[in-house]
A and B are shown apart, each in its own frame.
Chain A
Amino acid sequence: MDLLILNAIKGLKKKKIQMLGIVVMVLLSTGIYTTMNSAVDRLEDRYYHYLDHNKVEHISLEPTIDYTKDITPSLFSNLRDTKLKEVTEEEGNLLDLYQMCLIQPNEACNQEVYAALEQVFKKYDVYEELGNEKLDVLAKKYDFTYELQKTKVVTDQNYTTNMMPYEEHKKMNLPHLVEGKFPTKAGEITVLPKFASKNGLEIGDNYKINGKQYKIVGFAYVSDYIYPMLSMNQPIFDEKYNNIVFMLPSDYELFDGIKNDTYGILLNGNYDRKNRIANELTRYLEEEDKQEKTLSDEEIESIVKKAQDTGDSMLLITTMLENEKEEIHVGMNTMIRLLRTDAIQMEFKGSRTFAETFLYLLLTISVFIILVITKKRIDDERLQIGVLKSLGYKRYQIAASYLVYPILGSIVGGLLGYALGVLLHEPLTELFLSFYTVPLAGFHLNSKYFINSLMIPLILLSTLSFIIAYFMLRKKPLALLKEGSNLKINLLSKVVTHLTKPLSFESKFRYKLASRSVGKLLIVTLTSFCTGLLIVLILIGSNLFEQLIDQSFENLDYKYMVSYKTIQYSDTTEDDLILSSTMDIKKVLDSHGKEKKLEDDEYSINLTGIDSYTKYIEVKDEKEKNLIPLLYEEDRSIIINKNIAEYMKIKVGDTVVLDNNGTEVSFKIAAIQDDYLGSTSYISRELLSKTLGYEGNAYSMKYTVNEDYSNIKSLDSEEVDSIASVFSIDDLRRNIETQMGRMDAVIYIVIFFASFMVLIIISVIANIVVEENKKTISLMKVMGYQNKEISSIVLNIYTPFIIVAYLLSIPCMIALLKWIITLLIGDTKMVIPITLSPTMAALGLLGLLIAYYIAITLSRRVLNKVPLAVALKRE
């Protein structure tokens, strides 16, 4: 057996390209595996410690102030004499109204009044006082710490900044100093490190925010902004334009910005941070059958103890939300704050899954290459094998000699891949830090990755190779020794003979060579098909995103969407005034009034109340016809978008019956807008106002081009106080376009990588084809065929199969995506168009063919070197 192995090792010299193919596959797979895991380790190792050490909140919740019960007339009087003494005239009128409601409730005391009152309370810190009182009680009961997290948001040109007061003795969400110091004097600030580097700022530099000059004294991370999504304007963190600043509380109080305060809750005890509260909370909120029973204090104490013993934070949170629904609720900011702290866990999981999947995927491809090489060797050496068998060598002994390739390939590829992975983890870590602000752990060699990089390829490739070789060596010695035993052809070749009869000799010869080995043909076709699937997926994804964004932005001519904390009233026609509401669809009636089957009985739509003179909103159909006038042709008309229409199977002329807080209201479908984004519908603002019980000119949002909203310093303080958020279309578009720029890079990398894989596999296959056909190639040279003619016939045999495989992958991927989206529709309630333009399809095919032709060109050199003397050798 030693001699067999020695013979196999000697034969390696002639199979450099094939060995290289195996080594490269193993290298790539283990390299990516090591890189991704090492980079994620540097984030993850420190992350959980960071959460504990910096006392990052578990959740943010809002105290529920019941303005009909929680405030007594005497308390209110006291407040009017203290915190509510210096109010504006309008605020004073509101307080007077409320005072009357406390004494004698009447019709005027409605939710609208209470919502307005809450804004006044927040402005004068009364809300904080009332909230603290409630939370003090709950904190004792459920054993947690709470603290109001204060933020002011300011947008200045393209820059969005969250300002925060720096307090030395914060109870939670402690900032992490990266360099320099925290502010100790007025006018001093810290900024995010990446923001500083992208904007060329250093410690000691002056920096202007909202027209005021500050001095940068340090760089700091904000521990509750690990994924620092600042606002809905900027769903993807833009390290150049997004910043979080700490300043002294005194500076903070004087700073003008949109307030966005929220209560953070930190559970006392050792809780498992690995369970993602965001996911579990979403599931909990969607549940229908929640417990109605109120727990006793002893029961609560027992649950608290159990939660602390098991580290189950959700047990405590859900108990609190269930039992204290009158006192506390999930606020507007809850989910976004959870996303900021634990979205990174998705990255850990996703990246590690990707690394493992990729490892096994590439190793599987390596197995195919080894399969082809082994089969070829066995075919070439059939006489020797026959002799060995007749001499008494066992099948397993001969099969073992074929382990040279996988063992050598695994060891060399594994070691190189691990080394490469270690080297490349740093740039990947830096890339992660573009998205997450979290301190990094130092790098340390993880023996697990080293062992896996060696052992997984070694075991997988060797085992499968042995099994393959053992199976292929099943023929009896006599059958192997029989001359011409290698001349038989397969069924496919015979079929191809019939099909290619009318073709030219070159074409016939090509197809015959391709069909000679079903295994190789299958590998090339499958590789091209899988690569095609991947390329098509990426192209559709990018195209889809671009389409959705273009479609959405196409209709938006306004620059800012201003949302208000309470209902506003105005007659202005300078801006587009919008009133919005969300209602569930209860019924759908056809044009004859007959009730239709409801596709989803829990489907909500967003109603957007607009005026006939709207300037900035376009509501158009497929043929670009303006649909807004249709809202005013008939009473109670509504326009729905294609997403709603297709998902709920609603047509023009149908009537939708909506649930307006327990009351059914119906509207007739006047038209369907050509748009797929969200579940959006349009209705007359006046009609929606009346339906919701407001005065005719109520609005909650404004679409405007007024540049004053780019910097709230230009607005008066009363308006600033009433604004909940300013949504800048330009900011959003720029933010998304910047990320799409990155996504383009990802697309090109994926296409390049997929093509590189094709290149490796086809190079190996082409090399094997040349070797297999050496005698024929030599014969053709002797007969007088030129090298280029021979290359054209022998090497260019797979082009039609590659093209067909790629073309087949297009409808397959489209069908697969549509099926996946159909499965997802239950959750997302969206209809997403899946298309691939001919240009993009051609681009993908081009990438694939370029890789193929590079592979062929590399093999051409080998072909040109085949000597003429091979044909003259006697067997």
Chain B
Amino acid sequence: MKTLYQMNHVSKIYQNSVTKLHALNDISLKLNEGEIIVILGPSGSGKSTLLNLLSGIDHPTNGEILFHGTDLGKMDDKELTFYRRNKLGFIFQSYNLVSNLTVLENIEMGANLSTEPLEMSEILSVVGLQKEKNKYPYQLSGGQMQRVSIARALVKNPKVLFCDEPTGALDEETGKKVLKSLQEINQKYHTTMIIVTHNPSIALMAHTVIRMNSGNIMEITHNKKVVDALELRWA
């Protein structure tokens, strides 16, 4: 498996005039291409910080983060913007859809960034929203809105899909369906998925699970068998 990310002794410290917070402590890891990677941990464990560093939204205080051998820490803002534009996709807990754009237009928002986006009809079919393409977000359920968010992220055919608590606002059934979509996308397009969650059940569908606590990696496990998303049981 080809290495996608390599983190070497990465730390992140947030400091203001009063306090100093060690969000990440000397993290070193490797992430492989084409895998579903789940970063698991309770609130304040550093998993969102890790996501932000990997996606170039934030810079590490110490250490280096290599993406396909390129040090993200040495990139300026413009280069990081293009890195996110060309290589990454994002899915958020709160969907972040633009309320006065239709489903199709929200997906176009992502397609607009790519020189070779995937076909709209294909994307709509993958997320199962062909009939809803002209609807507005207020006319959709939570699960449907999250699938629009997935489609928007996927349409530019990114190398990596970052998912920050993708099922956090959804009920179990809907959540499993969304995760199933992600699994299918991973299988079809070999898109690497990095899912940040506090729900341990989701770890079973991942190829690699990184457990974090208090800014440290407690454990990295590789699942020999990956469970179908629809068969997961919520904790």
A509 touches B109 (CB 8 A): yes
Q: Shortest beta-carbon distance, B143 to chain A, in Å?
A: 14
Q: Which of A115-123, A136-144, A618-626, A774-782 contacts B (4 or more CB under 8 A)?
A: A774-782
B residues 18-73 touching A (CB-CB < 8 Å): 48, 52, 55, 57
B113 touches A487 (CB 8 A): no
Interface core residue of A489, A779, A782, A868 (most chain B CB under 10 Å): A782
State the CA gap A497–B52 with chains docked (Å): 35
Check A488 for interface membership: any CB of B closer than 8 A.
yes
Contact among A506, A783, A784, A872 with B164 in the assembled complex (CB-CB below 8 Å):
A872
Q: Shortest beta-carbon distance, A433 to chain B, in Å?
A: 58
Q: Which residue of B lies closest to A867 (CB)?
A: B57
Q: Shortest beta-carbon distance, B161 to chain A, in Å?
A: 12
B residues 165-217 touching A (CB-CB < 8 Å): 165, 168
B109-123 to A contact mask, C-beta < 8 Å, 1/0: 111110000000000
Q: Shortest beta-carbon distance, A457 to chain B, in Å?
A: 35
Q: Which residue of B lies closest to A785 (CB)?
A: B113
A783 touches B137 (CB 8 A): no
Contact among B83, B84, B93, B101 with A874 in the assembled complex (CB-CB below 8 Å):
B93
Contact among A484, A775, A780, A872 with B57 in the assembled complex (CB-CB below 8 Å):
A872
Check B234 for interface membership: any CB of A closer than 8 A.
no
A784 touches B88 (CB 8 A): yes
Check A512 for interface membership: any CB of B closer than 8 A.
yes
State the CA gap A493–B99 with chains docked (Å): 10
> Which of chain A's residues have a CB closer than 8 A to the CB of B125?
none
Q: Shortest beta-carbon distance, B25 to chain A, in Å?
A: 21
A874 touches B90 (CB 8 A): no
> Which of chain B's residues have a CB closer than 8 A to the CB of A516?
100
Check A786 for interface membership: any CB of B closer than 8 A.
yes
Asked, given contacts A782-B84, A784-B113, A868-B57, whether A775 binds B138 with beta carbons under 8 Å apart, the answer is no
B102 touches A497 (CB 8 A): yes
State the CA gap A779–B137 with chains docked (Å): 16
B131-175 to A contact mask, C-beta < 8 Å, 1/0: 000001110000000000000000000000000110010000000
Dominant SS among interface residues on chain B: mixed
Contact among A505, A779, A872, A874 with B105 in the assembled complex (CB-CB below 8 Å):
A505
> Which of chain A's residues have a CB closer than 8 A to the CB of B55?
782
Interface residues on A, range: 20 to 34
> Which of chain A's residues have a CB closer than 8 A to the CB of B78?
786
> Which of chain B's residues have a CB closer than 8 A to the CB of A488?
99, 138
A481-514 to B contact mask, C-beta < 8 Å, 1/0: 0001011110001000100000001101100110
A512 touches B85 (CB 8 A): no
Check A869 for interface membership: any CB of B closer than 8 A.
yes
A783 touches B92 (CB 8 A): no
Contact among B81, B93, B98 with A781 in the assembled complex (CB-CB below 8 Å):
B81
B92 touches A871 (CB 8 A): yes
Contact among B48, B109, B136, B165 with A783 in the assembled complex (CB-CB below 8 Å):
B109
B81 touches A874 (CB 8 A): no
State the CA gap A506–B83 with chains docked (Å): 21
> Which of chain A's residues have a CB closer than 8 A to the CB of B99?
486-489
> Which of chain B's residues have a CB closer than 8 A to the CB of A781?
81
B100 touches A872 (CB 8 A): no
B94 touches A512 (CB 8 A): no
State the CA gap A783–B107 with chains docked (Å): 12
B105 touches A487 (CB 8 A): no
Check B223 for interface membership: any CB of A closer than 8 A.
no
Q: How many A-B pairs with Cβ below 8 Å? A: 82
B96 touches A775 (CB 8 A): yes
State the CA gap A90–B101 with chains docked (Å): 97
A512 touches B48 (CB 8 A): no
Asked, given contacts A488-B138, A781-B81, whether A512 binds B57 with beta carbons under 8 Å apart, the answer is no
Contact among B112, B113, B138 with A484 in the assembled complex (CB-CB below 8 Å):
B138
> Which of chain A's residues have a CB closer than 8 A to the CB of B8?
none
Q: Shortest beta-carbon distance, A798 to chain B, in Å?
A: 16
State the CA gap A484–B95 with chains docked (Å): 12
Check A571 for interface membership: any CB of B closer than 8 A.
no
Interface residues on B, range: 35 or more
> Which of chain B's residues have a CB closer than 8 A to the CB of A873?
94
State the CA gap A732–B181 with chains docked (Å): 86
Contact among B109, B138, B165 with A505 in the assembled complex (CB-CB below 8 Å):
B109
A residues 830-868 touching B (CB-CB < 8 Å): 868
Q: Shortest beta-carbon distance, B133 to chain A, in Å?
A: 12
Contact among A486, A493, A505, A783 with B84 in the assembled complex (CB-CB below 8 Å):
A783
State the CA gap A486–B138 with chains docked (Å): 9
State the CA gap A497–B98 with chains docked (Å): 14
> Which of chain A's residues have a CB closer than 8 A to the CB of B48?
872
B165 touches A508 (CB 8 A): no
State the CA gap A489–B105 with chains docked (Å): 15
Q: Shortest beta-carbon distance, B164 to chain A, in Å?
A: 6
State the CA gap A840–B108 with chains docked (Å): 42
A509 touches B101 (CB 8 A): yes
Asked, given contacts A484-B138, A775-B96, A784-B81, whether A872 binds B52 with beta carbons under 8 Å apart, the answer is yes
Check A875 for interface membership: any CB of B closer than 8 A.
yes
A758-784 to B contact mask, C-beta < 8 Å, 1/0: 000000000000000001100111111
> Which of chain A's residues have a CB closer than 8 A to the CB of B88?
784
> Which of chain B's residues have a CB closer than 8 A to the CB of A513?
100
A776 touches B98 (CB 8 A): yes
B138 touches A489 (CB 8 A): yes
Q: Which residue of B lies closest to A778 (CB)?
A: B96
State the CA gap A484–B86 with chains docked (Å): 31
State the CA gap A506–B110 with chains docked (Å): 12
> Which of chain A's residues have a CB closer than 8 A to the CB of B105?
497, 505, 508-509, 512
A residues 499-536 touching B (CB-CB < 8 Å): 505-506, 508-509, 512-513, 515-516
A875 touches B57 (CB 8 A): no
Q: Shortest beta-carbon distance, A791 to chain B, in Å?
A: 14
B57 touches A869 (CB 8 A): yes
> Which of chain B's residues have a CB closer than 8 A to the CB of A871?
90, 92, 96
> Which of chain B's residues have a CB closer than 8 A to the CB of A509?
98, 101, 105, 109
Asked, given contacts A493-B100, A505-B108, A872-B164, whether A784 binds B138 with beta carbons under 8 Å apart, the answer is no
A residues 157-203 touching B (CB-CB < 8 Å): none
> Which of chain B's residues have a CB closer than 8 A to the CB of A775?
96
A779 touches B96 (CB 8 A): yes
> Which of chain A's residues have a CB closer than 8 A to the CB of B100?
489, 493, 512-513, 515-516
> Which of chain A's residues have a CB closer than 8 A to the CB of B93?
874
Q: Which residue of A lies closest to B94 (CB)?
A: A875
> Which of chain B's residues have a CB closer than 8 A to the CB of A874?
93-94, 165, 168
> Which of chain B's residues have a CB closer than 8 A to the CB of A505?
105, 108-109, 111-112
Asked, given contacts A512-B101, A868-B57, whether A782 binds B165 with beta carbons under 8 Å apart, the answer is no
> Which of chain A's residues have a CB closer than 8 A to the CB of B164?
872
A782 touches B85 (CB 8 A): no
State the CA gap A568–B170 with chains docked (Å): 106
> Which of chain B's residues have a CB closer than 8 A to the CB of A497?
102, 105
A506 touches B112 (CB 8 A): yes
Contact among B84, B92, B102, B108 with A784 in the assembled complex (CB-CB below 8 Å):
B84
Q: Which residue of B lies closest to A874 (CB)?
A: B93
Q: Shortest beta-carbon distance, A499 to chain B, in Å?
A: 13
> Which of chain A's residues have a CB closer than 8 A to the CB of B108?
505, 508
B94 touches A783 (CB 8 A): no
State the CA gap A875–B94 with chains docked (Å): 7
Q: Shortest beta-carbon distance, B50 to chain A, in Å?
A: 13
20 contacts between A and B (CB under 8 A): A484-B137, A489-B100, A505-B111, A508-B105, A509-B98, A509-B101, A776-B96, A782-B55, A782-B84, A783-B90, A783-B109, A785-B85, A786-B78, A869-B52, A872-B48, A872-B52, A873-B94, A874-B94, A874-B165, A875-B94
In addition to A508-B108, A784-B113, A872-B92, 11 A-B residue pairs with Cβ atoms within 8 Å of each other are A487-B136, A506-B112, A508-B101, A512-B98, A512-B105, A776-B96, A782-B55, A782-B84, A784-B85, A786-B81, A875-B94
Question: Which A residues contact B (CB, under 8 angstroms)?
Answer: 484, 486-489, 493, 497, 505-506, 508-509, 512-513, 515-516, 775-776, 779-786, 868-869, 871-875
Query: Nearest 3 A-B pairs (CB), nearest first?
Result: A784-B85, A487-B138, A784-B84
